Chains A and B, each alone.
Chain A
Amino acid sequence: MGKYYQPEIECASAEELRKIQSEKLVKQVKRVYENVAYYRRLMEEKGVRPEDIRSVEDLHKLPFLTKADLRDAYPYGLLGTDLKNCVRIQSTSGTTGRRVVAFYTQADVELWEDCCARAIMAAGGTQEDVCQVAYGYGLFTGGPGLNGGSHKVGCLTLPMSSGNTERQIQFIQDLQATILCCTPSYAAYIGETMNEMGIGPGENTLKAGIFGAEPWTEEMRRNIEASLGIKAYDIYGLTETTGPGVAFECQEQTGMHINEDHFLPEIIDPETGEALPEGSKGELVFTNLDKEGFPLIRYRTRDICILSRKQCSCGRTLIKMSKPMGRSDDMMIIRGVNVFPSQIETVLIREGYSVNYLIEVDRKNNVDTLDVSVELTPDQFTDTVKELTEKEKALANAMKTMLGINPRVHLVAPKSIARSEGKAVRVIDKRKLHD
Protein backbone atom coordinates (compact mmCIF):
# COMPACT_ATOMS: atom_id res chain seq x y z
CA MET A 1 0.00 0.00 0.00
CA GLY A 2 1.08 3.53 -0.69
CA LYS A 3 3.95 2.51 -2.89
CA TYR A 4 4.23 4.46 -6.12
CA TYR A 5 7.07 4.67 -8.58
CA GLN A 6 6.29 8.23 -9.68
CA PRO A 7 3.72 9.56 -7.16
CA GLU A 8 3.88 13.12 -8.54
CA ILE A 9 2.29 11.79 -11.75
CA GLU A 10 0.40 8.72 -10.54
CA CYS A 11 -1.43 10.72 -7.86
CA ALA A 12 -1.60 14.11 -9.60
CA SER A 13 -4.90 16.00 -9.60
CA ALA A 14 -7.07 15.81 -12.72
CA GLU A 15 -6.27 19.48 -13.46
CA GLU A 16 -2.53 18.92 -13.21
CA LEU A 17 -2.75 15.88 -15.49
CA ARG A 18 -4.78 17.81 -18.01
CA LYS A 19 -2.27 20.63 -18.02
CA ILE A 20 0.63 18.20 -18.57
CA GLN A 21 -1.28 16.41 -21.33
CA SER A 22 -2.21 19.63 -23.11
CA GLU A 23 1.33 21.01 -23.06
CA LYS A 24 2.75 17.73 -24.32
CA LEU A 25 0.08 17.34 -27.01
CA VAL A 26 0.74 20.78 -28.51
CA LYS A 27 4.48 20.06 -28.73
CA GLN A 28 4.01 16.52 -30.02
CA VAL A 29 1.61 17.50 -32.81
CA LYS A 30 4.02 20.22 -33.95
CA ARG A 31 6.95 17.78 -33.89
CA VAL A 32 5.03 15.06 -35.78
CA TYR A 33 3.77 17.57 -38.35
CA GLU A 34 7.33 18.64 -39.02
CA ASN A 35 8.99 15.21 -38.98
CA VAL A 36 6.41 12.70 -40.26
CA ALA A 37 5.40 13.40 -43.85
CA TYR A 38 2.78 10.63 -43.76
CA TYR A 39 0.87 12.20 -40.86
CA ARG A 40 1.39 15.74 -42.19
CA ARG A 41 -0.44 14.65 -45.34
CA LEU A 42 -3.32 13.21 -43.25
CA MET A 43 -3.55 16.50 -41.33
CA GLU A 44 -3.54 18.51 -44.55
CA GLU A 45 -6.29 16.32 -46.00
CA LYS A 46 -8.38 17.06 -42.91
CA GLY A 47 -7.49 20.74 -43.02
CA VAL A 48 -5.87 20.78 -39.57
CA ARG A 49 -2.76 22.80 -38.77
CA PRO A 50 -0.51 22.31 -35.73
CA GLU A 51 -1.58 25.73 -34.36
CA ASP A 52 -5.21 24.52 -34.28
CA ILE A 53 -4.23 22.18 -31.45
CA ARG A 54 -4.02 24.23 -28.26
CA SER A 55 -5.13 21.71 -25.63
CA VAL A 56 -6.54 18.19 -25.22
CA GLU A 57 -9.94 19.70 -26.06
CA ASP A 58 -8.75 19.94 -29.67
CA LEU A 59 -7.66 16.31 -29.91
CA HIS A 60 -10.80 15.29 -31.85
CA LYS A 61 -9.76 17.57 -34.72
CA LEU A 62 -6.80 15.33 -35.57
CA PRO A 63 -6.94 12.44 -38.05
CA PHE A 64 -6.83 8.82 -36.91
CA LEU A 65 -4.12 6.29 -37.62
CA THR A 66 -5.09 2.67 -38.14
CA LYS A 67 -3.32 -0.61 -38.60
CA ALA A 68 -3.73 -0.09 -42.37
CA ASP A 69 -1.69 3.14 -42.11
CA LEU A 70 1.04 1.25 -40.29
CA ARG A 71 1.12 -1.27 -43.11
CA ASP A 72 1.19 1.43 -45.81
CA ALA A 73 3.95 3.33 -44.04
CA TYR A 74 6.06 0.23 -43.28
CA PRO A 75 8.85 0.37 -42.31
CA TYR A 76 10.00 3.99 -41.95
CA GLY A 77 6.97 6.08 -42.94
CA LEU A 78 5.90 6.90 -39.38
CA LEU A 79 9.37 7.35 -37.94
CA GLY A 80 9.35 10.52 -35.85
CA THR A 81 13.06 11.27 -35.70
CA ASP A 82 16.31 10.51 -37.50
CA LEU A 83 17.08 6.82 -37.54
CA LYS A 84 20.44 7.61 -35.94
CA ASN A 85 18.60 8.73 -32.80
CA CYS A 86 16.86 5.34 -32.48
CA VAL A 87 18.40 2.61 -30.35
CA ARG A 88 15.93 -0.29 -30.63
CA ILE A 89 13.08 -1.82 -32.54
CA GLN A 90 10.34 -4.12 -31.25
CA SER A 91 7.90 -5.95 -33.44
CA THR A 92 4.65 -7.88 -33.39
CA SER A 93 4.39 -11.52 -34.42
CA GLY A 94 2.86 -10.59 -37.77
CA THR A 95 0.72 -13.73 -37.78
CA THR A 96 -2.06 -11.88 -39.59
CA GLY A 97 0.40 -10.71 -42.23
CA ARG A 98 0.52 -7.23 -40.73
CA ARG A 99 3.83 -7.00 -38.94
CA VAL A 100 4.36 -3.81 -36.96
CA VAL A 101 7.89 -2.50 -36.46
CA ALA A 102 8.15 0.21 -33.79
CA PHE A 103 11.25 2.37 -33.21
CA TYR A 104 12.52 3.57 -29.84
CA THR A 105 14.96 6.30 -28.90
CA GLN A 106 16.72 5.95 -25.53
CA ALA A 107 14.13 8.33 -24.06
CA ASP A 108 11.33 6.10 -25.43
CA VAL A 109 12.90 3.05 -23.78
CA GLU A 110 13.23 4.96 -20.49
CA LEU A 111 9.59 6.04 -20.41
CA TRP A 112 8.41 2.55 -21.33
CA GLU A 113 10.46 1.04 -18.53
CA ASP A 114 9.14 3.69 -16.12
CA CYS A 115 5.60 2.62 -17.05
CA CYS A 116 6.46 -1.03 -16.34
CA ALA A 117 8.06 0.00 -13.05
CA ARG A 118 4.80 1.71 -12.06
CA ALA A 119 2.98 -1.56 -12.84
CA ILE A 120 5.39 -3.66 -10.77
CA MET A 121 5.13 -1.33 -7.77
CA ALA A 122 1.32 -1.29 -8.09
CA ALA A 123 1.49 -5.09 -7.74
CA GLY A 124 3.45 -4.61 -4.50
CA GLY A 125 6.95 -4.87 -5.96
CA THR A 126 9.94 -3.30 -4.16
CA GLN A 127 13.70 -3.73 -4.35
CA GLU A 128 13.33 -6.63 -1.92
CA ASP A 129 11.55 -8.65 -4.60
CA VAL A 130 12.76 -11.35 -6.98
CA CYS A 131 10.99 -10.78 -10.29
CA GLN A 132 10.86 -13.71 -12.70
CA VAL A 133 10.18 -12.51 -16.24
CA ALA A 134 8.79 -15.42 -18.25
CA TYR A 135 7.50 -13.38 -21.17
CA GLY A 136 9.35 -13.99 -24.42
CA TYR A 137 12.45 -11.85 -24.96
CA GLY A 138 13.39 -10.58 -28.38
CA LEU A 139 11.20 -8.73 -30.84
CA PHE A 140 8.16 -9.29 -28.60
CA THR A 141 7.71 -6.40 -26.16
CA GLY A 142 6.71 -8.54 -23.15
CA GLY A 143 10.16 -9.65 -21.96
CA PRO A 144 12.10 -6.42 -22.60
CA GLY A 145 9.37 -4.21 -21.08
CA LEU A 146 8.99 -6.03 -17.77
CA ASN A 147 12.72 -6.68 -17.61
CA GLY A 148 13.38 -2.94 -17.81
CA GLY A 149 10.66 -2.14 -15.29
CA SER A 150 12.01 -4.70 -12.87
CA HIS A 151 15.47 -3.11 -13.08
CA LYS A 152 14.02 0.35 -12.41
CA VAL A 153 12.19 -0.86 -9.30
CA GLY A 154 15.41 -2.57 -8.21
CA CYS A 155 14.06 -6.11 -8.06
CA LEU A 156 16.45 -8.98 -8.57
CA THR A 157 15.46 -9.80 -12.15
CA LEU A 158 15.38 -13.37 -13.48
CA PRO A 159 15.36 -12.95 -17.28
CA MET A 160 13.92 -16.40 -18.01
CA SER A 161 12.05 -15.73 -21.25
CA SER A 162 9.18 -18.14 -21.95
CA GLY A 163 9.24 -21.92 -22.19
CA ASN A 164 11.12 -24.70 -20.40
CA THR A 165 8.53 -24.94 -17.66
CA GLU A 166 10.54 -27.29 -15.44
CA ARG A 167 13.38 -24.78 -15.37
CA GLN A 168 10.91 -21.96 -14.63
CA ILE A 169 9.62 -23.91 -11.63
CA GLN A 170 13.13 -24.76 -10.48
CA PHE A 171 14.09 -21.06 -10.51
CA ILE A 172 10.88 -20.06 -8.72
CA GLN A 173 11.75 -22.54 -5.98
CA ASP A 174 15.57 -22.22 -5.81
CA LEU A 175 15.81 -18.43 -6.18
CA GLN A 176 12.60 -17.77 -4.27
CA ALA A 177 10.89 -15.67 -6.91
CA THR A 178 8.19 -13.42 -5.48
CA ILE A 179 6.74 -11.86 -8.66
CA LEU A 180 5.99 -13.75 -11.86
CA CYS A 181 5.53 -11.90 -15.17
CA CYS A 182 4.21 -13.84 -18.19
CA THR A 183 1.12 -14.40 -20.30
CA PRO A 184 -1.92 -15.55 -18.28
CA SER A 185 -2.12 -18.82 -20.21
CA TYR A 186 1.50 -19.56 -19.35
CA ALA A 187 0.88 -18.65 -15.70
CA ALA A 188 -2.05 -21.09 -15.66
CA TYR A 189 0.18 -23.78 -17.15
CA ILE A 190 2.99 -23.16 -14.66
CA GLY A 191 0.43 -23.33 -11.83
CA GLU A 192 -1.06 -26.60 -13.06
CA THR A 193 2.37 -28.13 -13.56
CA MET A 194 3.48 -27.11 -10.08
CA ASN A 195 0.34 -28.60 -8.57
CA GLU A 196 0.87 -31.82 -10.53
CA MET A 197 4.42 -31.96 -9.21
CA GLY A 198 2.96 -31.81 -5.70
CA ILE A 199 3.88 -28.14 -5.08
CA GLY A 200 0.74 -26.62 -3.59
CA PRO A 201 -0.26 -22.93 -3.69
CA GLY A 202 1.28 -22.27 -0.26
CA GLU A 203 4.54 -24.03 -1.06
CA ASN A 204 6.21 -21.34 -3.14
CA THR A 205 7.45 -17.83 -2.39
CA LEU A 206 5.44 -16.09 -5.13
CA LYS A 207 3.10 -13.34 -3.94
CA ALA A 208 2.06 -11.59 -7.14
CA GLY A 209 1.88 -12.07 -10.88
CA ILE A 210 1.70 -9.50 -13.69
CA PHE A 211 -0.04 -11.07 -16.64
CA GLY A 212 -0.97 -9.66 -20.02
CA ALA A 213 -0.44 -9.68 -23.79
CA GLU A 214 -3.55 -11.77 -24.41
CA PRO A 215 -7.20 -11.68 -23.37
CA TRP A 216 -8.07 -13.47 -20.14
CA THR A 217 -11.12 -13.75 -17.97
CA GLU A 218 -11.93 -13.34 -14.28
CA GLU A 219 -12.33 -17.13 -14.10
CA MET A 220 -8.79 -17.56 -15.37
CA ARG A 221 -7.62 -15.04 -12.80
CA ARG A 222 -9.22 -17.03 -10.00
CA ASN A 223 -7.72 -20.30 -11.27
CA ILE A 224 -4.22 -18.81 -11.48
CA GLU A 225 -4.54 -17.18 -8.06
CA ALA A 226 -5.66 -20.51 -6.55
CA SER A 227 -3.03 -22.71 -8.19
CA LEU A 228 -0.07 -20.41 -7.42
CA GLY A 229 -1.35 -18.83 -4.20
CA ILE A 230 -0.80 -15.28 -5.51
CA LYS A 231 -2.65 -12.12 -6.43
CA ALA A 232 -2.81 -11.85 -10.23
CA TYR A 233 -2.59 -8.38 -11.83
CA ASP A 234 -3.53 -7.47 -15.37
CA ILE A 235 -1.27 -5.35 -17.57
CA TYR A 236 -2.15 -3.83 -20.94
CA GLY A 237 -0.15 -2.58 -23.83
CA LEU A 238 0.48 -2.78 -27.52
CA THR A 239 3.64 -2.63 -29.56
CA GLU A 240 2.27 0.27 -31.64
CA THR A 241 2.04 2.42 -28.52
CA THR A 242 5.04 1.05 -26.63
CA GLY A 243 4.39 -2.46 -25.27
CA PRO A 244 3.19 -3.64 -21.84
CA GLY A 245 2.74 -0.91 -19.26
CA VAL A 246 0.40 1.36 -21.22
CA ALA A 247 -2.05 0.48 -18.43
CA PHE A 248 -1.75 -1.63 -15.28
CA GLU A 249 -3.85 -2.92 -12.43
CA CYS A 250 -3.54 -1.93 -8.77
CA GLN A 251 -4.68 -3.99 -5.77
CA GLU A 252 -8.29 -2.89 -6.28
CA GLN A 253 -8.43 -5.06 -9.44
CA THR A 254 -11.28 -3.01 -10.94
CA GLY A 255 -9.66 -1.93 -14.18
CA MET A 256 -6.24 -0.76 -15.28
CA HIS A 257 -4.76 2.68 -14.65
CA ILE A 258 -3.60 4.20 -17.93
CA ASN A 259 -0.24 5.96 -17.86
CA GLU A 260 -2.05 8.92 -19.36
CA ASP A 261 0.85 11.33 -18.93
CA HIS A 262 2.45 9.40 -21.82
CA PHE A 263 -0.52 7.77 -23.56
CA LEU A 264 -3.55 10.00 -23.96
CA PRO A 265 -6.66 7.79 -24.19
CA GLU A 266 -10.00 8.41 -25.89
CA ILE A 267 -13.08 6.28 -26.49
CA ILE A 268 -14.71 6.61 -29.89
CA ASP A 269 -17.65 5.10 -31.69
CA PRO A 270 -16.00 2.48 -33.94
CA GLU A 271 -18.57 3.10 -36.68
CA THR A 272 -18.58 6.91 -36.86
CA GLY A 273 -15.22 7.79 -35.27
CA GLU A 274 -16.99 10.26 -32.99
CA ALA A 275 -15.38 10.79 -29.58
CA LEU A 276 -17.64 9.50 -26.78
CA PRO A 277 -17.99 10.82 -23.20
CA GLU A 278 -16.35 9.09 -20.22
CA GLY A 279 -18.19 5.93 -19.23
CA SER A 280 -19.20 5.04 -22.80
CA LYS A 281 -18.30 1.71 -24.29
CA GLY A 282 -16.34 2.05 -27.50
CA GLU A 283 -13.00 1.73 -29.25
CA LEU A 284 -9.89 2.77 -27.36
CA VAL A 285 -7.66 5.29 -29.14
CA PHE A 286 -4.20 6.39 -27.95
CA THR A 287 -2.04 9.40 -28.66
CA ASN A 288 1.63 9.07 -27.76
CA LEU A 289 2.46 12.29 -25.95
CA ASP A 290 6.20 11.78 -25.53
CA LYS A 291 7.45 9.16 -27.89
CA GLU A 292 10.08 10.28 -30.37
CA GLY A 293 10.80 7.18 -32.45
CA PHE A 294 7.26 6.05 -33.23
CA PRO A 295 4.97 8.92 -32.21
CA LEU A 296 1.50 7.67 -33.19
CA ILE A 297 -1.31 10.21 -32.91
CA ARG A 298 -4.90 8.98 -32.39
CA TYR A 299 -4.01 5.36 -33.06
CA ARG A 300 -7.09 3.14 -33.15
CA THR A 301 -6.37 0.05 -31.03
CA ARG A 302 -9.53 -1.84 -32.09
CA ASP A 303 -9.95 -2.80 -28.42
CA ILE A 304 -13.44 -2.14 -27.08
CA CYS A 305 -13.55 -0.92 -23.49
CA ILE A 306 -14.84 1.71 -21.04
CA LEU A 307 -12.83 4.49 -19.35
CA SER A 308 -13.57 5.61 -15.81
CA ARG A 309 -12.21 8.35 -13.56
CA LYS A 310 -13.93 7.00 -10.46
CA GLN A 311 -11.81 7.46 -7.34
CA CYS A 312 -9.54 4.47 -6.67
CA SER A 313 -8.67 3.16 -3.22
CA CYS A 314 -5.01 2.81 -4.23
CA GLY A 315 -4.65 6.60 -4.34
CA ARG A 316 -3.78 6.78 -8.01
CA THR A 317 -5.69 9.35 -10.01
CA LEU A 318 -4.75 7.95 -13.42
CA ILE A 319 -7.86 7.16 -15.46
CA LYS A 320 -8.85 3.47 -15.55
CA MET A 321 -9.75 1.32 -18.53
CA SER A 322 -11.85 -1.82 -18.25
CA LYS A 323 -10.43 -5.09 -19.49
CA PRO A 324 -10.99 -5.04 -23.26
CA MET A 325 -14.38 -6.61 -23.95
CA GLY A 326 -13.51 -7.58 -27.48
CA ARG A 327 -12.05 -6.11 -30.61
CA SER A 328 -13.99 -3.88 -32.91
CA ASP A 329 -12.79 -5.94 -35.86
CA ASP A 330 -13.96 -9.17 -34.14
CA MET A 331 -17.37 -7.74 -33.39
CA MET A 332 -20.26 -9.49 -35.10
CA ILE A 333 -23.68 -7.98 -35.41
CA ILE A 334 -26.13 -10.86 -35.18
CA ARG A 335 -29.85 -10.10 -35.26
CA GLY A 336 -28.90 -6.52 -34.45
CA VAL A 337 -26.97 -7.48 -31.31
CA ASN A 338 -23.22 -6.87 -30.89
CA VAL A 339 -21.53 -10.19 -30.18
CA PHE A 340 -17.84 -10.75 -29.39
CA PRO A 341 -16.11 -14.14 -29.51
CA SER A 342 -14.60 -13.32 -26.10
CA GLN A 343 -18.09 -13.39 -24.55
CA ILE A 344 -18.62 -16.93 -25.82
CA GLU A 345 -15.19 -17.89 -24.54
CA THR A 346 -16.06 -16.56 -21.09
CA VAL A 347 -19.15 -18.77 -20.93
CA LEU A 348 -17.20 -21.84 -22.08
CA ILE A 349 -14.55 -21.38 -19.39
CA ARG A 350 -17.15 -20.75 -16.70
CA GLU A 351 -19.11 -23.87 -17.68
CA GLY A 352 -15.98 -26.03 -17.69
CA TYR A 353 -15.67 -26.56 -21.43
CA SER A 354 -12.62 -26.52 -23.65
CA VAL A 355 -11.95 -23.20 -25.38
CA ASN A 356 -11.63 -24.94 -28.72
CA TYR A 357 -14.74 -23.63 -30.37
CA LEU A 358 -15.99 -22.47 -33.71
CA ILE A 359 -18.62 -19.80 -34.29
CA GLU A 360 -20.60 -20.01 -37.52
CA VAL A 361 -22.89 -17.18 -38.49
CA ASP A 362 -25.28 -17.51 -41.40
CA ARG A 363 -28.53 -16.07 -42.66
CA LYS A 364 -31.43 -18.38 -43.37
CA ASN A 365 -34.82 -17.04 -44.55
CA ASN A 366 -33.61 -13.52 -43.71
CA VAL A 367 -32.84 -14.45 -40.12
CA ASP A 368 -29.30 -14.56 -38.75
CA THR A 369 -28.27 -17.87 -37.27
CA LEU A 370 -25.53 -18.43 -34.71
CA ASP A 371 -24.06 -21.90 -34.31
CA VAL A 372 -21.32 -22.64 -31.79
CA SER A 373 -19.43 -25.93 -32.00
CA VAL A 374 -17.61 -26.91 -28.83
CA GLU A 375 -15.21 -29.78 -28.31
CA LEU A 376 -16.41 -32.26 -25.70
CA THR A 377 -13.92 -33.26 -23.01
CA PRO A 378 -13.71 -36.88 -21.75
CA ASP A 379 -15.03 -36.12 -18.26
CA GLN A 380 -18.20 -34.54 -19.69
CA PHE A 381 -19.19 -37.56 -21.74
CA THR A 382 -22.00 -39.82 -20.59
CA ASP A 383 -23.65 -42.82 -22.23
CA THR A 384 -27.11 -41.28 -22.60
CA VAL A 385 -28.20 -38.90 -25.35
CA LYS A 386 -30.58 -37.23 -22.90
CA GLU A 387 -27.80 -36.03 -20.61
CA LEU A 388 -25.60 -34.78 -23.46
CA THR A 389 -28.53 -33.00 -25.09
CA GLU A 390 -29.25 -31.36 -21.72
CA LYS A 391 -25.62 -30.19 -21.60
CA GLU A 392 -26.00 -28.62 -25.04
CA LYS A 393 -29.16 -26.86 -23.91
CA ALA A 394 -27.61 -25.65 -20.64
CA LEU A 395 -24.64 -24.22 -22.55
CA ALA A 396 -26.95 -22.53 -25.08
CA ASN A 397 -28.94 -20.97 -22.21
CA ALA A 398 -25.78 -19.70 -20.52
CA MET A 399 -24.72 -18.12 -23.82
CA LYS A 400 -28.15 -16.60 -24.31
CA THR A 401 -27.89 -14.94 -20.90
CA MET A 402 -24.49 -13.48 -21.83
CA LEU A 403 -25.21 -12.49 -25.44
CA GLY A 404 -28.89 -11.70 -25.44
CA ILE A 405 -29.50 -13.93 -28.44
CA ASN A 406 -30.08 -17.66 -28.68
CA PRO A 407 -27.30 -19.74 -30.23
CA ARG A 408 -27.43 -23.38 -31.26
CA VAL A 409 -24.72 -25.33 -29.48
CA HIS A 410 -23.17 -28.46 -30.95
CA LEU A 411 -20.91 -30.78 -29.00
CA VAL A 412 -18.22 -32.17 -31.28
CA ALA A 413 -15.38 -34.69 -30.93
CA PRO A 414 -12.08 -33.61 -29.39
CA LYS A 415 -9.51 -32.23 -31.83
CA SER A 416 -12.14 -31.99 -34.56
CA ILE A 417 -11.87 -28.18 -34.63
CA ALA A 418 -8.78 -27.18 -36.60
CA ARG A 419 -5.83 -25.86 -34.60
CA SER A 420 -3.68 -23.13 -35.99
CA GLU A 421 -0.11 -22.16 -35.19
CA GLY A 422 -0.90 -18.50 -34.85
CA LYS A 423 -4.24 -17.00 -34.07
CA ALA A 424 -7.01 -19.56 -34.28
CA VAL A 425 -9.87 -19.12 -36.72
CA ARG A 426 -12.82 -18.84 -34.37
CA VAL A 427 -15.45 -17.23 -36.55
CA ILE A 428 -16.86 -18.15 -39.95
CA ASP A 429 -19.35 -15.58 -41.15
CA LYS A 430 -21.11 -17.14 -44.12
CA ARG A 431 -23.38 -14.12 -44.54
CA LYS A 432 -20.62 -12.28 -46.36
CA LEU A 433 -20.76 -14.88 -49.12
CA HIS A 434 -24.35 -13.96 -49.97
CA ASP A 435 -24.04 -10.18 -49.87
Chain B
Amino acid sequence: MSVKQIAVFIENKKGRLAEVTRYIADHNVNLRALSIADNQDFGILRIICEDPVAANGILREGGYITTVTDVLAAAISDKPGSLAQILEVLSEAGVMIEYTYAFLSAKGGAYMIFRVDDNQSAAAALAGAGIKTVDQEELF
Protein backbone atom coordinates (compact mmCIF):
# COMPACT_ATOMS: atom_id res chain seq x y z
CA MET B 1 0.00 0.00 0.00
CA SER B 2 2.02 2.96 -1.19
CA VAL B 3 1.81 6.03 -3.39
CA LYS B 4 4.31 7.22 -6.00
CA GLN B 5 5.87 10.59 -5.31
CA ILE B 6 7.99 12.48 -7.83
CA ALA B 7 10.90 14.54 -6.49
CA VAL B 8 12.32 17.28 -8.72
CA PHE B 9 15.70 18.98 -8.27
CA ILE B 10 15.46 22.75 -8.46
CA GLU B 11 18.18 25.29 -7.92
CA ASN B 12 17.60 27.72 -5.09
CA LYS B 13 17.26 30.73 -7.38
CA LYS B 14 14.56 33.26 -8.04
CA GLY B 15 11.88 32.05 -10.46
CA ARG B 16 12.90 28.38 -10.57
CA LEU B 17 9.81 27.14 -8.72
CA ALA B 18 7.53 29.27 -10.92
CA GLU B 19 9.31 27.87 -13.97
CA VAL B 20 8.85 24.21 -13.07
CA THR B 21 5.21 24.62 -11.94
CA ARG B 22 4.44 26.50 -15.19
CA TYR B 23 6.05 23.67 -17.13
CA ILE B 24 3.96 21.12 -15.25
CA ALA B 25 0.78 23.14 -15.83
CA ASP B 26 1.50 23.57 -19.56
CA HIS B 27 1.67 19.80 -19.84
CA ASN B 28 -1.70 19.39 -18.19
CA VAL B 29 -0.51 17.70 -15.05
CA ASN B 30 -2.68 18.41 -12.03
CA LEU B 31 -0.75 18.58 -8.78
CA ARG B 32 -2.59 17.04 -5.83
CA ALA B 33 0.00 17.63 -3.17
CA LEU B 34 3.41 19.10 -2.87
CA SER B 35 6.11 19.94 -0.40
CA ILE B 36 9.44 21.67 -0.75
CA ALA B 37 12.61 21.12 1.20
CA ASP B 38 15.71 23.14 0.63
CA ASN B 39 19.19 24.08 1.68
CA GLN B 40 21.06 27.18 0.56
CA ASP B 41 21.94 25.77 -2.87
CA PHE B 42 18.95 23.77 -4.00
CA GLY B 43 15.42 22.72 -3.26
CA ILE B 44 13.62 19.44 -3.74
CA LEU B 45 10.05 19.75 -4.94
CA ARG B 46 8.01 16.67 -4.08
CA ILE B 47 4.72 16.16 -5.82
CA ILE B 48 1.81 13.73 -5.84
CA CYS B 49 -0.29 13.57 -8.98
CA GLU B 50 -2.70 11.20 -10.68
CA ASP B 51 -0.42 9.63 -13.30
CA PRO B 52 3.10 9.74 -11.82
CA VAL B 53 4.68 7.66 -14.61
CA ALA B 54 3.48 10.06 -17.31
CA ALA B 55 4.30 13.14 -15.23
CA ASN B 56 7.80 11.87 -14.52
CA GLY B 57 8.35 11.29 -18.25
CA ILE B 58 7.17 14.81 -19.04
CA LEU B 59 9.52 16.33 -16.44
CA ARG B 60 12.52 14.35 -17.69
CA GLU B 61 11.78 15.36 -21.26
CA GLY B 62 11.90 18.94 -20.01
CA GLY B 63 15.45 18.34 -18.77
CA TYR B 64 14.58 18.13 -15.08
CA ILE B 65 16.31 15.71 -12.76
CA THR B 66 13.70 13.61 -10.99
CA THR B 67 13.35 10.51 -8.90
CA VAL B 68 10.25 8.48 -8.09
CA THR B 69 9.84 7.24 -4.53
CA ASP B 70 7.22 5.03 -2.88
CA VAL B 71 5.74 6.89 0.05
CA LEU B 72 2.92 6.00 2.47
CA ALA B 73 -0.40 7.86 2.47
CA ALA B 74 -2.17 7.36 5.79
CA ALA B 75 -5.80 8.42 6.31
CA ILE B 76 -6.13 10.86 9.14
CA SER B 77 -9.35 11.81 10.89
CA ASP B 78 -10.29 15.44 11.51
CA LYS B 79 -9.84 15.54 15.27
CA PRO B 80 -7.15 16.47 17.79
CA GLY B 81 -4.50 13.81 18.39
CA SER B 82 -4.82 11.91 15.09
CA LEU B 83 -1.35 12.85 13.89
CA ALA B 84 0.20 12.24 17.29
CA GLN B 85 -1.33 8.75 17.31
CA ILE B 86 0.16 7.87 13.91
CA LEU B 87 3.59 9.16 14.89
CA GLU B 88 3.48 7.15 18.13
CA VAL B 89 2.59 3.96 16.27
CA LEU B 90 5.49 4.49 13.84
CA SER B 91 7.87 5.36 16.64
CA GLU B 92 6.95 2.23 18.61
CA ALA B 93 7.49 0.13 15.48
CA GLY B 94 11.00 1.60 15.21
CA VAL B 95 10.26 3.30 11.89
CA MET B 96 12.39 6.33 10.99
CA ILE B 97 10.58 9.22 9.29
CA GLU B 98 12.56 11.23 6.71
CA TYR B 99 9.79 13.76 6.12
CA THR B 100 6.00 14.13 6.12
CA TYR B 101 3.38 16.46 4.67
CA ALA B 102 -0.40 16.71 4.53
CA PHE B 103 -2.70 16.12 1.63
CA LEU B 104 -6.45 16.49 0.96
CA SER B 105 -8.09 14.02 -1.40
CA ALA B 106 -10.46 15.31 -4.10
CA LYS B 107 -12.89 12.68 -2.87
CA GLY B 108 -12.80 14.19 0.59
CA GLY B 109 -10.68 12.96 3.48
CA ALA B 110 -7.28 14.03 4.70
CA TYR B 111 -4.04 12.08 4.39
CA MET B 112 -0.54 12.37 5.72
CA ILE B 113 2.28 11.45 3.35
CA PHE B 114 5.18 9.70 5.06
CA ARG B 115 8.61 9.00 3.63
CA VAL B 116 10.02 6.32 5.95
CA ASP B 117 12.98 3.98 5.95
CA ASP B 118 10.80 0.86 5.72
CA ASN B 119 7.42 1.08 4.01
CA GLN B 120 6.37 -2.49 4.80
CA SER B 121 6.84 -2.42 8.55
CA ALA B 122 5.33 1.06 8.73
CA ALA B 123 2.20 -0.03 6.81
CA ALA B 124 1.90 -3.17 8.94
CA ALA B 125 2.23 -1.20 12.19
CA LEU B 126 -0.38 1.33 11.07
CA ALA B 127 -2.75 -1.44 9.95
CA GLY B 128 -2.28 -3.12 13.36
CA ALA B 129 -3.40 0.14 15.03
CA GLY B 130 -6.45 0.40 12.75
CA ILE B 131 -4.97 3.24 10.64
CA LYS B 132 -5.62 2.89 6.94
CA THR B 133 -2.95 3.43 4.28
CA VAL B 134 -4.14 3.78 0.71
CA ASP B 135 -2.67 3.16 -2.74
CA GLN B 136 -2.57 5.31 -5.85
CA GLU B 137 -6.03 4.36 -7.18
CA GLU B 138 -7.87 5.06 -3.95
CA LEU B 139 -6.56 8.60 -3.82
CA PHE B 140 -7.95 9.80 -7.12
Contact = CB atoms under 8 A, between A and B. Distances in A.
Contacts of A314: none
Interface in A379-408: 381-386, 388-389, 392
A410 B41 CA distance: 6
Nearest to A410: B41
B63 A385 contact: no
A378 B67 CA distance: 8
A392 B41 contact: yes
With most chain B CB atoms within 10 A of its CB, the pick from A378, A383, A388, A412 is A383
A415 interface: yes
A411 B65 CA distance: 12
A414 B9 CA distance: 10
Contact of A383 (B10, B38, B115): B115
A374 to B, nearest CB: 10
Interface string B51-65: 000000000100111
Contact of B63 (A381, A392, A411, A414): A414
Contacts of A388: 39, 42, 44
Nearest to B42: A411
A412 B38 contact: no
B9 A413 contact: yes
Contact of B67 (A382, A385, A416): A382
B120 interface: no
A44 B124 CA distance: 90
A294 B66 CA distance: 55
B42 A384 contact: no
Given A381-B66, A383-B46, A416-B11, A389 B39 contact: yes
A381 B42 CA distance: 12
Contact of A415 (B7, B39, B63): B63
A384 B115 contact: yes
B69 interface: yes
B5 interface: yes
A190 interface: no
Interface in B99-140: 99, 115
Given A381-B9, A384-B99, A384-B115, A414 B65 contact: yes
B5 to A, nearest CB: 7
Contacts of A383: 5, 7, 44, 46, 67, 69, 115
- Which of B38, B98, B115 gathers the greatest number of chain A CB atoms within 10 Å? B98
A414 B59 CA distance: 13
A388 B38 CA distance: 10
B84 interface: no
Contacts of B69: 383
Contacts of A411: 41-42
Given A381-B9, A385-B38, A376 B65 contact: yes
Interface string A356-393: 00000000000000000000111001111110110010
A431 B41 CA distance: 22
A86 B46 CA distance: 67
Nearest to B98: A384
Contacts of B67: 378, 381-383
Contact of A376 (B9, B63, B99, B115): B9
Pick the most buried of B9, B39, B63, B69: most chain A CB atoms within 10 A of its CB. B9
B44 to A, nearest CB: 6
B18 interface: no
Interface in A67-115: none
A312 to B, nearest CB: 47
A378 B65 contact: yes
A413 B41 contact: no
A399 to B, nearest CB: 16
Interface of A: 376-378, 381-386, 388-389, 392, 410-416
23 contacts: A378-B66, A381-B65, A381-B67, A382-B7, A383-B5, A383-B7, A383-B44, A383-B69, A383-B115, A384-B99, A384-B115, A385-B37, A386-B98, A389-B39, A410-B42, A411-B41, A412-B41, A413-B10, A413-B11, A413-B42, A414-B63, A414-B65, A415-B63
